[in-house]
With several copies, the nearest count.
Chain A
């Protein structure tokens, strides 16, 4: 039941993403962003049903799964056991929880690609992301036989990713980056070194509230990843750390950008708190509240520097998907190797397995660099792998001619041309 409640919360993040991404978009592509949010979800549900769940969470080999240990395939949710592995969680509840994660990953991508991607193009790459990239690379870290899954491939330290700084956010962020690169910037978008700057967003109100909805949903994302509410202390620690990292991320970004412009920058703060949340997603089970605050604050700074980097590289990422999810997903994964306190081991249904070999200890707590290196290898393997494949995917979609819309369509807006109407058609002069 804990898994279901938290699955619902993770699902609710879609409302947050839709608000955030639509708010950061221009008015002319608002309907496009909203519909992508909905259709990505619908597609992801069907694909995760058809084969995504089997590939990601089924037994198989280190690179891909497909079914139970005896070889019966789980495609179309067939042959499922009542409860998943040793978690004690009803398999369909686990499916729902993991569908909501997959959906998150897919939605992240569209934030970097909005304003110029055709809807057919969106459908193709979404199928690629939800149906292929996410379940396969996700299997590496979370599949029962995934080659990164708790195998101590670097000395004694296995790679750990509690709730997905790597699996969900680095994957989503790297695909977003590939998409933004292959698409190129929106027409008229000039970059800082060319005397330009970001294009206007259309609604900061919904963008900010969207971020708070995401924060709320993260209480499903992280605490739900214990899978069991019986690990009471673990769940509470995860929830508290999640909160503190978000707080520190928001403040970190706010304070870091203030000296530049002497303005209290709402967009930066919003992305800062999300950066804190992305970063704490991997280490939330193993760090202390102080660690959460520090690593969250650092994430708040990283997200701004990463935004500057994209600006310098002339890459147009309207929502900051790569700075938030890519850069801070990487940071969060690595931060475990720095901040893990050494008090807690792998989570089990009833609490942390704190036996000698199982505890996770980072560099700053005297654990040496083993865990850090393990985290680096795991994150780099997935991050680089997924980026490479995503570039291929995006170029393939581009080759079909559906990735980017024609110039006129982009200038007049996707809503009018692809969706047959704008987001706010009832203006005073048109109807009174």
Chain B
């Protein structure tokens, strides 16, 4: 199993979620994060003066998946999250040794 971590633009969250859902991925965990990267922050103004905010709000998705579907899930995320502008985000794939469902105690792929 793998843990897929995807950093995406927050306003793409709904689309990504919908796309995953139609591809059979039902569960995920989402966190509000701040990203630093090539996409530079933006300038804000305040009483006539400008200042720079150098982080960019992003949404982080964590999705546990069986090995077999990793490639597909990554594809689905890319398609739904892409805007072709800098800052579209990244996908990280980590090895996942075990998954346990708290309610039932099931483990492994059936617990996902």
Using a CB–CB distance below 8 Å, which chain A residues touch chain B?
A: 188, 192, 196-201, 253, 256-257, 260-261, 263, 265, 267-268, 271, 304, 307-308, 311, 320, 411-412, 416, 419-421, 425, 427-430, 432
Contacts and interface: CB of A to CB of B under 8 A. Distances in A.
B10 A425 contact: no
Contact of A263 (B32, B45, B53, B57): B45
Contact of A421 (B31, B34, B46): B46
Interface in B45-88: 45-53, 55, 57, 59
Given A197-B52, A411-B11, A428 B45 contact: no
Given A428-B10, A430-B53, A432-B57, A261 B45 contact: yes
A428 B48 contact: no
A265 B47 contact: yes
A304 B42 contact: no
B47 A267 contact: yes
Contacts of A200: 44, 46, 51, 53
Contacts of B44: 200, 420-421, 425
B34 A412 contact: no
B108 to A, nearest CB: 29
A412 B11 contact: yes
A230 B40 CA distance: 62
B3 interface: no
B43 interface: yes
Given A420-B44, A429-B10, A429-B34, A198 B49 contact: yes
B100 interface: no
Nearest to B42: A416
B46 A196 contact: no
B51 A198 contact: yes
Interface residues of B, number: 23
Contact of A420 (B32, B43, B57): B43
Contacts of B111: none
Given A420-B44, A425-B44, A432 B49 contact: no
Contacts of A201: 46
Main SS class of interface, B: strand
Given A411-B11, A428-B57, A197 B50 contact: yes
A-B residue pairs, 7 tightest by C-beta: A197-B51, A432-B10, A420-B45, A421-B44, A267-B47, A429-B32, A257-B48
Contacts of A265: 45-48
B30 interface: yes
Contact of B13 (A267, A421, A432): A432
Contacts of A427: 32
A260 B48 contact: yes
A412 B10 CA distance: 9
B11 to A, nearest CB: 5
A419 B50 CA distance: 12
Contacts of A428: 10, 32, 57
Contacts of A192: 49-50
Contacts of A320: 47
A25 to B, nearest CB: 13
20 contacts: A197-B46, A197-B50, A199-B51, A200-B44, A260-B48, A261-B45, A265-B47, A267-B46, A307-B49, A411-B11, A412-B11, A421-B45, A421-B46, A428-B57, A429-B30, A429-B34, A429-B55, A430-B34, A430-B55, A432-B59
A386 to B, nearest CB: 25
B89 to A, nearest CB: 14
Nearest to A422: B44
Contact of A271 (B30, B47, B52): B47
A261 B45 CA distance: 7
